[in-house]
Structure 1
Amino acid sequence: MDGTNTLSFESKLQQLLDRVDNGIDKSEGSIIYDALAPIAMQLWIEESKFRSILEQAFAVTAEGRFLDLIAKDYGLERTPAAAAMVELAFTGIVNAVIPDGTSVGIENSDISFATIGDAVIGSGGRTTVMARCKQAGAIGNVNADTIRLLFDPVKDIWTVNNSRPASGGLNQEPDEALRGRILYQKRNPEHGGTESDYKRWALSVTGVTYAEALNCNRGLGTVDVVVGADADIERVCGEVRRLIELKKPLGVDVIVKPVIPELMTVKAKVVGLSESAAKNAVYGYLRTVDIGGTIYLSKIVAALITAGAADAVILLPKENLQLPIDRSLQAEVIIV
């Protein structure tokens, strides 16, 4: 039922009044008007409910659990939330041990991280160890130089810090992303092994956020499927590989590989902004660059100015950078 054709409460009431003999007083406040008004209101409410229920039957309008049910019809599932990861640098006395699961956090925040595996302070009085956010979701993608608190005091350990932002924190797949995967399945039926088929098969795997098929990339009869995922990429690639092996035409040599990190150094001269604030501003922009996207120097400068810099000059790279369709950005930011 198209919402544009749905009558308003007033229109429904008028329809009911039009069925009453004109010889009877139908003006507002009359007996017949007051008797029909609640009926018109209830009819309007029930129709609105029916329209809402009907919209949940279609992928383009369904939401929440109803969209999940439609996804199941196509063998899809909503990608669950994932926890952010971060590299932490600890300082302390040489040979001091940082136990697995050591809790660290951020001042004036409930966000906390736990180290993964034991670590030992090296000869330079420093060591690094990976940590996972205790709260799943994008909330764990904290800025650089923010994790400074040791919640679990460890003997002979002095400081902790993260020189780079935490990454990989992923909220539960939103409706629009799941809807996009469903509609891609609906609108791209299988054709026996075309490029769109390989992309279709890859996107049907829970956790895949990006997929591209490169036909004949290694010669005739070969297909390279590039897969992106916000978490657990090796497991996701494995599932894509198993699915494609079941569906691909005989004789086709298929490789499934993760998106390749494109290493890049961003070096900027900034006036009027602290180093940590400038780094976070640049990283904030770079996180918006998608796989195969373009890094614009002007947008880096704009991000710094917006963050409060009086002036900014990008020293590296020298020009805008277009990422290939199988590359994601992994940048190091240097502020001078």
Structure 2
Amino acid sequence: MEYNGITYDEDLNGVPIKSLEQIRDEILADWKAEAPALDILPGSDANIRASAIAGQLYAAYVSGAIGVNQYMPDTATGSFLQALVKEEGITQKLAEKGKGTQLQFRRDPNSVRTDVEARVTAGQLVVTRDGVIFESTVDAVMPPNALEAIVPYQATAAGAAGNIQPGDIIGFYGPPPAGISYVTNLDATADGADDEDDEKLRTRYFEATEQEEWHGSPAWLEAEAKKVQGITSASAIKNARGEGTTDLLVTAGNGIPSAEKLAEVQAYLTDPTREPINIDLQVISPEPVVIPLQVQAAGITLTQAETAYEAYLATLRVGGTVYPSRISSALIEAGASFAEVIEPANPIVLTDTQMPLPGVVTLV
């Protein structure tokens, strides 16, 4: 390619640069022009020296090309992108732990004494069928003759894997506490989120720079809500409850946000120290629609079927239609030789505020 009368052999992310070979050959050509008797063949002293110089000049070209790209928000990465998006008050969101409120410890009156107090100290590790580890966050106490205790819990590691469904916790991670027979979770966890990658951060930046100007507009609400840690999507519904009202539907991690997260978004958008938004705003979460799956399939395990089904539903997020034929395709892609979906028997059409969640998967 030629630019301003100069020929370049390569380009780096759209920036024209000279290749190492081009630089070396141009140096040797200049030297040969000044000293026609100079040996410039491969292995010669001149060729070795020119190659060394060319290597350093090529590194300078690459560094310059990278620098050009890091000053543009559509190509910048890492810390360079983070610095650019701060102009819009945007910061890269870090991973969050999934949290729940109903971790159930039980004791079996047929195998342990129940006429004494049993206690499970905070920090007790438990595990899901997929190997995700959780911990209780407060002490669980069973008075004499009580058979269960329910306490809050959270994932030990931040990330979307910390969003689980009721019953996913199947046992203790290590020896069980003295006198305790069983453990499981009675509720789904929420708010688990992975680190925000560069592309998602870049998308939020452009959404913020292209949004409507006025404070409190639907686009402003959506962009501002996604600044809150853990919020992955936001959709404003104008006049949801009548003239002058707006409902803001948000998701967190890969699912439905907790009540605490909804309150955090509401407080952030209606902060009295900011300019009033002059609308009746309500931050809401999607309505969960649990869809059991009954399928006849060959060549696939229950775990594989559950994973494939969950992945398919995750592509719909909020709204859309759940098609049995696409569930079948997802299972075949996961390794089934065939898959005949028995339930749901017909497509399920979701509203714009409903989110599909996987129910019990049964292979028949």
Shorter chain as normaliser: what TM range? 0.7 to 0.9
SS at match of 1:54: helix
SS of the residue corresponding to residue 293 of structure 2 reads strand
CA distance 1:98–1:315, shift in 2 (3 Å)? farther
1:138 maps onto 2:153 in alignment = no
Deviations 1:268-293 (A, max 9, x none): 14355665654444334333432234
What does 1:127-206 align with in structure 2 at a 5 Å threshold? 129-141=151-163, 145=168, 147-149=170-172, 151=174, 153-161=176-184, 168-188=191-211, 190-191=213-214, 193-206=216-229
Q: Quick one: structure 1 residues 139 and 197, their matched pair in 2 at CA, closer, same or farther if it must change by over 3 Å?
A: closer
Gap change, CA 1:161 and 1:31, over 3 Å in 2: same
Q: Point out where structure 2 has 5 or more consecutive residues left out of the alignment.
A: 1-11
One-letter code of the match for 2:159? Answer: G
CA deviations on 1:124-144 (whole Å, 9 max, x unpaired) are: 956655421112223545786
- Provide the residue aligned with 1:215 in structure 2: 238
1:295 aligns with 2:295: no
The structural deviation recorded for 1:158 is: 1.1
- Bigger mean CA deviation after superposition, 232-241 or 174-183: 232-241
Which residue does 2:250 correspond to in 1? 227
Q: How many residues align?
A: 334
Q: What amino acid is aligned across from residue 41 of structure 1 in structure 2? A: G
TM-score (norm 1): 0.80
> Is contact 2:160–2:193 with CA below 8 Å preserved after alignment?
yes
> Identity, % of aligned pairs?
23
Residue aligning to 1:104: 125
Cα offsets for 1:135-176 (capped at 9, x unmatched): 222354578656322536333321224588866432221121
Q: What's the C-alpha RMSD, in Å, of the aligned pairs?
A: 3.7
**Closer, same or farther: CA 200–234 of 1 in aligned 2, 3 Å:** closer
Please state whether the residue corresponding to 2:222 is helix, strand or coil.
helix
In structure 2, the CA distance between the partners of 1:192 and 1:279, relative to structure 1 (3 Å rule), is: closer
Q: How does 1:1-336 map to 2 (within 5 A)?
A: 3-22=14-33, 23-25=36-38, 26-85=40-99, 88-93=103-108, 97=118, 99-106=120-127, 111-117=132-138, 118=140, 120=142, 129-141=151-163, 145=168, 147-149=170-172, 151=174, 153-161=176-184, 168-188=191-211, 190-191=213-214, 193-230=216-253, 232-242=260-270, 246-247=274-275, 252-271=278-297, 278-307=305-334, 312-335=339-362
SS state of the match for residue 69, structure 1? helix
Deviation at 1:8, TM superposition (A): 0.7
Query: Hey, what's the Cα distance between the residues in 2 that align with 1:294 and 1:119?
Result: 45
What is the TM-score normalised by the length of structure 2?
Answer: 0.75
Letter in structure 1 aligned against 2:178: K
